[in-house]
Chain A
Amino acid sequence: MALQNEDKLEVGYSSLQPKPKKWVLLMLRLLAFFATAAATVVMGLNKETKTLVVATVGTTPIKATLIAKFQHTPAFVFFVIANGLASIHNLVMIMGDLFGQKLDYKGLRLAMIAILDMMTVALISGGASAAAFMAELGKNGNSHARWNSICDKYKTFCDHGGGALIASFAGLILMLIISVMSIIKLLIKPKPDSTIVVP
């Protein structure tokens, strides 16, 4: 009798559980994937070339080409790598959600998902924050250190960088929500052992 009740409870729970929350989580992951992928791509392709006429020898002007690339700044390199890893993480999680529901390792599936989500949040927050402060430095300069702002000379570079930053911060907020939802899923899942508590 008790076993039948438990069976009914199990079946009832598993048919109620996935539907609304699973789609919400999947949509959030998809949005986060798009946000971080957009940030990676926009910053990765961020490059601006300016040619200046430096001197005139006779009638031919000597041009100097100045290039602003994201690779010049280690903070932006970290930004691209962090967002790239985050989008790969989201992609793998989406694939796992859609196609790999049965994959499990000693019952630790939800714990691994929660921990990986937290690590990704940490990664994105580090990358976005470093790039944001470097961008602020580029925009305002630092008069105490005699560093001039570069945004008036490289306007497109700064604009694209700003766009990538906004996308990354949106991705960060989404990943934070996803991480909290993963942890909640982890904490409220009924454990089979918890019914056998005999201290």
Chain B
Amino acid sequence: MVKPKRLLRLLLRIIVLGSTLAAVIIMATSHEKGTFFALSYEAKYSDTPAFKFFVIANAIVTVYAFLVLFIPSESQLWGLVLALDLVFTMLLISSISAALAVAQVGKKGNSSAGWLPVCGQVTKYCNQVTGALVAGFIAIITYIILLLYSIYTFLNPLLGKNG
């Protein structure tokens, strides 16, 4: 009874749910304490607003993707889901772009601003942030595929219903 097109959409949504959840968890648990020339420091994701934005955006999309899984298949809400998909794609792209910009400064530094790279001192933290960003990338690419696919099936209702 499960049509292949609906199955594909369900699968894509589950992948999105999984990867945004992974991004949230990996970023939120990135935490490292250390010493640097007798100064003790602590690196957390909440030090940087960009990473906080990343966690919040991915958390919102996780909750949304989880709720959408429960909408019955022929309901009127799918039009709203399509519109919200567009908004959430934009949100995810914003969040990963911001997190990537700041993470790049953390890894390479910015010599003209006098900012030293910090990844050398907090390697574990850097690796976890990188992992969270990779999960975020997977989420956004899957989401874009899902969005285009949803618009395609919405536009061809004959094709969509006949699976």
Contact = CB atoms under 8 A, between A and B. Distances in A.
- Do most interface residues of chain A lie in helix, strand or loop, or is the interface mixed? helix
Given A145-B115, A146-B116, A147-B113, A118 B94 contact: no
A68 B94 contact: no
Contact of B155 (A78, A129, A131, A186): A186
Given A121-B90, A126-B93, A144-B43, A150 B102 contact: no
B115 A75 contact: no
Contacts of B112: 67-69, 72
Contacts, number: 98
Contact of B114 (A121, A148, A180): A148
A176 interface: yes
Nearest to B121: A145
A165 to B, nearest CB: 12
Given A72-B110, A111-B155, A179-B86, A130 B115 contact: no
A2 interface: no
26 contacts: A72-B110, A73-B110, A74-B104, A78-B101, A122-B90, A126-B93, A126-B96, A128-B94, A129-B93, A129-B97, A129-B98, A130-B101, A131-B101, A133-B49, A133-B101, A134-B102, A137-B48, A144-B42, A147-B113, A147-B114, A148-B115, A176-B90, A180-B83, A187-B154, A187-B155, A193-B158
A90 interface: no
Interface residues of A, number: 42
A127 interface: yes
B90 A125 contact: yes
Given A118-B147, A130-B97, A197-B158, 12 more contacts: A72-B112, A73-B110, A78-B97, A114-B151, A122-B90, A122-B144, A126-B97, A129-B95, A130-B100, A132-B98, A179-B86, A180-B86
B149 interface: no
Contacts of A97: none
B27 to A, nearest CB: 15
Interface in B27-80: 41-44, 47-50, 53
Interface of A: 67-69, 72-75, 78, 111, 114-115, 118, 121-122, 125-134, 136-138, 142, 144-148, 150, 176, 179-180, 183, 186-187, 193, 197
B106 interface: yes
A127 B102 CA distance: 13
Contacts of B41: 144
A137 B86 CA distance: 28
Nearest to B50: A133
